[in-house]
């Protein structure tokens, strides 16, 4: 039975990298008819943000990554929020102490800071100096009663720690390079390392999928599994998404907040499709595929570990592609819903009429309004100065009024006539009229737009410019 989990720390807005991770976890679990768990890693009281958890789930819902077990859904391994599992971590921390695999440490923050600074100056790695490693049992018993303490991992000396990452060769760490990490903090909360190992084990996680940023610290994880005598899950360290300058994906250079993609009008299935291509490729080279197809084909083992750069241009292309290939009715409701969230309410019938004109012109849902605003209200300004063209517009309005049956063809035929008589080049003529009707030099096809606007409105807009 495959069980994967997304370990999410509620410290801010939902991050696109979290979704990237979760997508692989989710897809792999589903492909194997297993379970996908969402666990909330809120072991840092200072950094935990009140509504972050809620937002994370809202983001997962937007992408339709429904978990099988989580704080909100429950499950047989509850609780799924680490802050509610403190007793469990403490139990194992003490077990480690009893086994001699961890020890109490009483060092103050000041001492540690000083010690680290000194080491830094000497050009050494600022690891813990093992000051409390070998205190006598009696002394420890005395001090834990009246002093503040933490529990640290006791790292064996002069050995190798080997991590088998399923996507790489064996990774060998020298134990002497591994810091004696704090496992249980003085406030009784565990640190990540203890919590993740305990939970993954207790929750039956079979495939530990996490970002490559964890790779360097994985010796601690290995040690913990060995000390606790637990069977290890399979480890997969997935590539980190990068900025164009190749640094870790950040809001400085990219858009890391899921809400940005929502606000721009990217479709969730497109974002997922795009993310699938970061480190994975379709066996037949397809780039556009459904989530079902991905789930069926995806295997964690096929992930390419070289860190990819996030290419917004390609995402935009893909989003446009999806919109073009969608049913018109679907595009309509997506647009209506998208703007409803921004409190912009459209006449749905009118929106529906405009879809054929803009479906292959918009890349994101947010492109709709700038392109189509003129359907809903007359232009407030014109991108070309039309003040010297009064005679022309007089003629046009006269000719438009002659049209009995207001259809694209009739409008087109009449305008070609009018253009001819005007002695302007076709392109010039239509550009002037386009700006008169839409206010802009770039617009959906003019005749079709005019048909939708209706005779009365078009004549009115042209007449505006004659006086």
> Which amino acids are annotated catalytic?
251
Rg, Å, the chain Cα set = 31
Closest separation in Å from C-beta 131 to RNA: 11
The CB density around residue 130, as the number of other CB atoms within 10 Å, is: 15
Single out the residue of 168, 166, 165, 193 nearest to residue 179, CA to CA: 193
Shorter beta-carbon distance to RNA: residue 244 or 340: 244
- Structural tokens at position 448: 């079709």
For residues 249 and 310, is the Cβ–Cβ distance under 8 A?
Answer: yes
Of 37, 93, 267, 278, the residue at the interface with RNA (CB under 7 A) is: 278
| Residue 350 contacts RNA per CB under 7 A | no
CB 128 within 8 A of CB 226: no
User: Nearest Cα to 196, choosing from 233, 170, 163, 242?
Assistant: 233
Q: What are phi and psi of 18, to 5 degrees?
A: -65, -40
- Residue labelled with tokens 């969730």: 268
81 binds RNA (CB under 7 A): no
Least Å distance, CB 187 to RNA, is 6
Q: Is 161 buried (19+), middle (13-18) or exposed (0-12) by CB count in 10 A?
A: buried
Give yes or no for residue 212 binding RNA (CB under 7 A): yes
Q: What binding mask, one character per residue, do residues 165-204 give for RNA by CB under 7 A, x or -? A: ---xx-xxxx--x-x-xx--xxx-xxxx------------
Q: Which of residues 409-448 bind RNA (CB under 7 A)?
A: 412, 426-427, 430-431, 434, 441-447
Nearer Cβ to RNA, position 126 or 378? 126
Q: Work out how close the CB of 80 gets to RNA at its nearest, in angstroms, rounded to a whole number.
A: 13
Q: Which residues lie across from 235 on neighbouring strands? A: 165, 208
Measured CA to CA in angstroms, residue 213 lies from 222, 248, 371, 382 at distances of 16, 9, 42, 52
Kindly tell me which residue out of 51, 61, 95, 213 binds RNA, with binding defined by CB under 7 A: 213
Stretch that binds RNA, among 26-34, 197-205, 224-232, 277-285 (CB under 7 A): 277-285
Q: Which residues pair with 103 in a beta bridge?
A: 152
DSSP 134: T
**Is position 373 an interface residue for RNA (rule: CB under 7 A)?**
no
If the CB atoms of residues 287 and 352 are measured against RNA, the closer one turns out to be: 287
Distance spanning both ends of the chain, measured CA to CA: 77
Q: Rounded to the nearest 5°, which phi and psi values hold at 441? A: -75, -25
Tell me the closest approach of the beta carbon of residue 166 to RNA, in angstroms: 11
Whether the ω angle into residue 461 lies within 30 degrees of 0, i.e. cis, is: no
For position 267 contacting RNA by CB under 7 A, the verdict is no
Total site size for RNA, rule CB under 7 A? 83
**Residue 287 sits in the site that holds RNA (CB under 7 A):** yes
Q: How far is the CB of 64 from RNA (least distance, A)?
A: 22
Binding map of RNA across residues 28-57, x = CB under 7 A, - = no contact: -------------x-xx--x----------
Burial call 112-122: b when 16+ CB within 10 Å, e when fewer: beebbeeeeee
Q: Is 301 in the site for RNA (CB under 7 A)?
A: no
> Restricting to residues 235-254, which ones interact with RNA according to CB under 7 A?
239-240, 242, 245-248
Minimal distance, residue 336 CB to RNA, in Å: 21
Q: Is 13 in the site for RNA (CB under 7 A)?
A: no
Number of Cβ within a 10 Å radius of residue 233: 20
Q: Which of these segments, 29-37, 70-78, 126-134, 256-264, binds RNA (CB under 7 A)? A: 126-134
- Specify the residue, 288 or 295, whose C-beta has the smaller distance to RNA: 288
Q: Verify binding: residue 108, RNA, rule CB under 7 A.
A: yes
């Amino acid at each position: 039975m495959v069980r994967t989990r997304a370990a999410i720390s509620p410290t801010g807005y939902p991050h696109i990298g979290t979704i990237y991770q979760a997508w692989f976890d989710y897809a792999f679990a589903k492909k194997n008819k297993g379970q996908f768990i969402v666990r909330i890693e809120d072991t840092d009281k200072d950094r935990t943000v009140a509504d972050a958890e809620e937002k994370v789930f809202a983001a997962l819902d937007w992408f339709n990554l429904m978990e099988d077990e989580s704080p909100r859904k429950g499950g047989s391994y509850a609780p799924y929020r680490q802050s509610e599992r403190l007793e469990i971590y403490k139990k194992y921390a003490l077990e480690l102490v009893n086994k001699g695999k961890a020890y109490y440490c009483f060092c103050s923050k000041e001492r540690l800071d000083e010690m680290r600074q000194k080491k830094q100056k000497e050009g050494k790695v600022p690891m813990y100096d093992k000051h409390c490693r070998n205190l006598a049992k009696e002394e420890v018993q005395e001090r834990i009663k009246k002093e503040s303490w933490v529990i640290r991992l006791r790292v064996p000396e002069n050995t190798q720690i080997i991590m088998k990452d399923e996507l790489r060769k064996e990774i060998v760490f020298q134990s002497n390079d591994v810091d004696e990490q704090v496992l249980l903090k003085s406030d009784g909360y565990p640190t990540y390392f203890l919590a993740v190992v305990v939970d993954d084990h207790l929750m039956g996680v079979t495939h530990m999928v996490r970002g490559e940023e964890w790779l360097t610290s994985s010796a601690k994880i290995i040690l913990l599994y060995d000390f606790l005598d637990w069977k290890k899950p399979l480890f997969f360290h997935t590539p980190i998404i990068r900025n164009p300058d190749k640094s870790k994906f950040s809001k400085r250079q990219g858009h890391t907040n899921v809400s940005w993609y929502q606000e721009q009008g990217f479709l969730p299935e497109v974002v997922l499709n795009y993310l699938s291509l970061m480190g994975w490729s379709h066996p037949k080279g397809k780039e556009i595929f459904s989530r079902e197809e991905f789930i069926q084909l995806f295997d964690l083992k096929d992930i390419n570990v070289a860190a990819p750069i996030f290419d917004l241009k390609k995402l935009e292309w893909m989003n446009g592609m999806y919109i073009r290939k969608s049913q018109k009715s679907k595009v309509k409701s997506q647009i209506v819903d998208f703007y409803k969230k921004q409190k912009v309410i459209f006449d749905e019938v009118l929106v529906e009429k405009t879809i054929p004109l803009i479906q292959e012109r918009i890349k994101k849902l947010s492109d709709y309004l700038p392109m189509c605003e003129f359907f809903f209200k007359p232009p407030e300004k014109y991108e070309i100065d039309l003040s010297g063209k009064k005679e022309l517009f007089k003629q046009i309005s006269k000719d438009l009024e002659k049209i009995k049956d207001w259809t694209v063809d009739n409008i087109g035929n009449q305008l070609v006539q009018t253009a001819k008589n005007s002695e302007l080049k076709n392109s010039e003529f239509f550009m002037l009229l386009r700006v008169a009707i839409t206010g802009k030099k770039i617009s959906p096809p003019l005749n079709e737009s005019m048909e939708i606007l209706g005779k009365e409105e078009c004549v009115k807009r042209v007449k505006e410019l004659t006086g």
